[in-house]
Amino acid sequence: MKKQKSIGNKGFSLVELIIVIAILAILVGVLAPNLLRYVEKTNVSADTQLADSVKTAITTAMMDPAVINANEATSSVTTFNDAHKTADALSTGLTGEMLKSVNVTLGYADSQSAADLQKSLISKLKSAHATDTAINVQIIGSNSVTVTITKTDASAGKKTDGTATPITVQ
């Protein structure tokens, strides 16, 4: 048998492979915190869009002639407005045609209760939030609506003292 001549292709040495792995580990260590911060910022942005959708649905319902002129004992818009002069949970005062209008605008079945609506919206939150998170609404003036998602961390991705910053849309 004849021995074949080597072409000179020996491959990588063990030292070269270890150096490449060390470089990759350093890159992952530097980039991972930035990636995690970016992901949390996108989650907070998604929650802000959810709060804005709720604000739009409420404002639309408050101005809808079908909701305002509904044949109810007391107008559901008036009841809702009275309940939210100070910041209070979305489900408070949300009844009748007002509830139906908000449900339909947000893409839910119009038969869903106000408490179920609040639970459904909270289940869609992406950012870090506590189990007792609430979506609060405050009505200032005739059509100025402020929606706040409490006990969620809008400051996520930044160095904080550990207290949660609510998401507010005015």
Domain-located, residue 91: yes
What domain count does the chain have? 1
Residue 1 in any domain: the answer is no
Q: Per the domain annotation, does 6 fall within a domain?
A: no
Q: Is residue 66 one of the residues assigned to a domain?
A: yes
pLDDT in single tens digits along all 170 residues of the chain: 566 666 666 788 889 999 999 999 999 999 999 898 888 888 888 888 998 999 998 888 888 888 777 766 567 788 888 887 888 888 888 888 888 888 888 888 878 888 888 888 888 888 777 777 888 888 887 678 888 888 766 665 454 444 556 777 77
Show the domain range for 119.
15-169
Instruction: Let me know if residue 44 belongs to a domain.
Output: yes
pTM of the model: 0.75
Six-digit token pair at 45?
Answer: 């942005």
Assess if residue 126 is contained within a domain. Answer: yes
Q: Is 48 left (phi over 0), alpha (psi -120 to 50) or beta?
A: alpha
Give a yes or no: residue 2 inside a domain: no
**Does residue 39 belong to any structural domain of this protein?**
yes
Which region holds residue 70: left if phi is over 0, alpha if psi is between -120 and 50, else beta?
Answer: beta
